[in-house]
Structure 1
Amino acid sequence: MRAKLTFALVAGLASATCFPTVHAASSAGASPEIVSPLEAQARANWREDISRTATPSEGCFQATYPSIIWKQVACKEAIPRVAPVPRWSSFGASETAGNGNDYTLQSSTLITQAVGTFPVVTGVTSEKGVGVAAYGGGGILGANEYSLQINSSFNSTTAACKSHSGCTVWQQYVYAPDYSVQGEAAVFMQYWLIGYGGTRCPSGWGSDGAGDCYKNSAAATAPDVPATQLGNVKLTGTVTSGGNDTVVFTNGTTAYSSSGKDSVLYLATVWKVGEFNVVGNAGGSEAEFNSGSSITVHLAVTNGSTTAPSCVANSGSTGESNNLNLGSCTASSGSTPSIQFTESN
């Protein structure tokens, strides 16, 4: 992943014998669980509630339906995987999503939360991460290797730049299978100081050798979810000025989160642009879906407004990509203004 580079329950649930049954998400790789429509709705409500429930402190947490209480768990270190800047002119077919060619939600007011989901997924039977020649074939490659990313833009400067001329900040909220340990996914935030200058990065930050600095937050451990189950997952990214930023990944009836201080980048003071998609897993790689795949992408924000945001094409900030062609984008108003588009092959 790389900036320039290249997330009270309804009670009295009815019995499944009284209502038609539906299939709900269960654990990764397991067969879908059959539940009643009211139970499915209660679980959806829980996923919404837990994503909006602040974690009690910095660190990693987990919650299990129907509880909306975060329980602290051990964090793991997620050593950053770095890739080069987007290469719009030299990589791939221009209509495929990612590598800068993506829709972003652009708000006129500050965003405090962004929620990414895939409300409709059809025809997806397989996915694999593949290397991209322009990026040296890097990344985490193979079957079911992809990442979910909510990304800010990298056009704004904050106090984190420490007055370095030309410096801007960029933040990702990430779910990445096999990121540090095979068989385990990582849920974390990746921070960037773009154009910080030379190799003089702050203590604890790495340098990409091109004047940019990077580091990861602590990572929560989550299951590797097959790409065929994208319709079951949700990624949420939250900022709190003077408090903690949080990434939350929910899959079925379990939620995983990692929180870190907003003062790492002070994103809360400038966040007005959001990108969400399923793309390659680090290193400028590509998520390659089987022919006939169609995925609807939905990104909703809380920004103190009910006005429809702008949906801007060719404005993504991640260098990772997928092999799906972007359709048209629709922006909607409401309590959580949103954008939605379908990508397919």
Structure 2
Amino acid sequence: MPCLLGAGALWSADAARAADAAAAIPESALASWHAQIASTAKPGIGCFSATYPSLAWQREVCDEPAQIPFGHPAILTQTRNGHTTIQAESSGGSGLTVGNGADYAAQSAGITKTAVGSFPTVSGVTVTAYDYSLQLNTNITASSPACAADGYSSCYVWQQFIYVTTYYPTSGGSQGPHAFIQNWFFADSSDFNSLGCPSGFEDSGYSYTFNGGSYEGCFGNSSAVSAPKVPATSLASAKLTGASVANGKDTVTFTYSNKAYTVTQSDNTLDIASVWKQSEFNIVGDGGGSAATFNKGSSLTVKIALTDGTTTAPTCLSNAGTTGETNNLTLGKCTASGGSTPSISFTESR
């Protein structure tokens, strides 16, 4: 069933305290701090948090997510027991349902190093969020050095930087909202039959077709850091940042009001830093092909800002989304801007 953003949903006391604390801070100061803390070097591999105005990361206890696929990619798949299509549920209504491929992606002029997803304007949203996710997704791409490094003749890779309101750790740990990274490795079927999934990855149980070739889906999660639950009415105060450094770290950073939360993993997990060229960002269902449903009159502006070593405006790619999750909004026009922080912006509304 779709994940309804219901009027009776409650958001966490942590989020309320963060909002109260941030109310006295000038908006421009918070925006500057969000950008600074997201780009501040992390102390190592693990989970960390920071509180305004400090630019020092403090280590947090990591939770280990259950090894279940967060969301299948938005492509036709074939199970090993017959044909099926991984298709997110739609709440109906008029217009195109955002997600499951129907979304914009920012194609960078150079290799993407950092992408920041945000909602500069949010209007008409009258309910708080029940269950949803913010996803910043890379392109699904071949040519990653991870293929040969793991002993495969051919593979595709895909990385998701995620903030999710519903989260289930393997054992112990805290439930509720978390930020983490999900990694996908699509192994050539003949290699998979002899090698299985790479170390640290689980078999998704699904086969995928890329450019006429058959591949088996494997996935693995980074550790996860606990974060507050943010109501949909406050999305303008939240940002999700994904970053990758070759032979260094992949990082997901979630900032909301006066707090920041981050998780790092080795870039050698997928070597995504060498092949990241497209970025999709949006609010969608909380995994498994689910949908985030907004009330009528809702309107959001979505922005994806990039660092790619150039000042060239990215390309707005339509129907270029990679997540299988959706929302019930209708996409508007996409525009691109160059400069010190190249970006694309588009609207979605109901």
TM-score norm. by structure 2 comes to 0.81
Corresponding residue for residue 135 of structure 2: 149
**Residues 55 and 70, structure 1, Cα contact 8 Å, conserved in 2:** yes
Q: Structure 1 vs Structure 2: percent identity of aligned residues?
A: 45
Whole-Å separation in 2 of the counterparts to 1:307 and 1:27: 39
Partner SS state of residue 96, structure 1: coil
CA deviation map 1:63-122 (0-9, x unaligned): 000100001111110124324442689764772210011000001211110001100000
Looking at structure 1, the residues matched to 65 and 343 of structure 2 have their Cα atoms a distance apart, in angstroms, of 30
Tell whether the 8 Å contact from 1:154 to 1:194 is kept in structure 2 after alignment: no
Deviations 1:162-213 (A, max 9, x none): 3534411100100001212676211110000024434610222111122111
SS at match of 1:111: coil
Counterpart mapping for 1:1-345 below 5 A = 27-29=14-16, 35=23, 39-82=26-69, 83-86=71-74, 92=90, 95-126=96-127, 144-162=130-148, 164-180=152-168, 184-197=176-189, 198=192, 200-210=196-206, 211-345=216-350
Residue in structure 1 matched with residue 212 of structure 2 by the alignment: none
Paired residue secondary structure (1:339) = strand
Give the AA of the match of 2:205: G
Structure 2 counterpart SS, 1:28 = helix
Aligned-CA RMSD value = 2.2
User: Matched residue of 2:329: which SS?
Assistant: strand
When residues 290 and 265 of structure 1 are mapped into structure 2, their CA distance, relative to the original with a 3 A threshold, is same
Question: Which residue of the partner structure matches residue 80 of structure 2?
Answer: none
AA at the equivalent of 2:28 = Q
SS at match of 1:48: helix
Conservation of the 8 A alpha-carbon contact between 1:116 and 1:235 = yes
Take 1:323 and 1:297, find their aligned partners in 2: how far apart are those partners?
15
Deviates more, 1:297-306 or 1:179-188: 179-188
Give 2:82's aligned residue.
none
Q: Distance in 1 between matches of 2:280 and 2:28?
A: 27
Of 48-57 and 180-189, deviating more is 180-189
Q: Which amino acid aligns with 1:298?
A: K
SS of the aligned residue for 1:242 comes to coil
Contact 2:73 2:322 in 1 (8 A): no
Distance 2:14 2:336 in 1: 33
How far, CA to CA, are the matches of 2:176 and 2:165 in structure 1? 6
For residues 18-58 of structure 1, the C-alpha deviation after alignment (integer angstroms, 9 at most, x for no partner) is: xxxxxxxx95145656856x732212111110011010101
Q: Is the 8 A contact 1:78 1:186 kept in 2?
A: no
Gaps of 5+ in 1: 1-25, 128-142
Paired residue secondary structure (1:45): helix
Q: In 1, distance between residues paired with 2:246 and 2:22?
A: 41
Number of residue pairs the alignment of both structures matches: 304
1:87 and 1:43 map into 2 onto residues whose CA distance is 39
**Contact conserved, 1:177 with 1:183, CA < 8 A, in 2?**
no
8 Å contact from structure 2 (residues 14, 229) kept in 1: no
Q: What's 1:137 paired with?
A: none
Q: How far apart, in 1, do the equivalents of 2:310 and 2:124 lie?
A: 36
Structure 2, gaps ≥5 residues long: 1-12, 77-84, 207-215
**Counterparts in 2 of 1:285 and 1:242: CA distance versus 1, 3 Å:** same
What's the CA shift for 1:331? 0.4
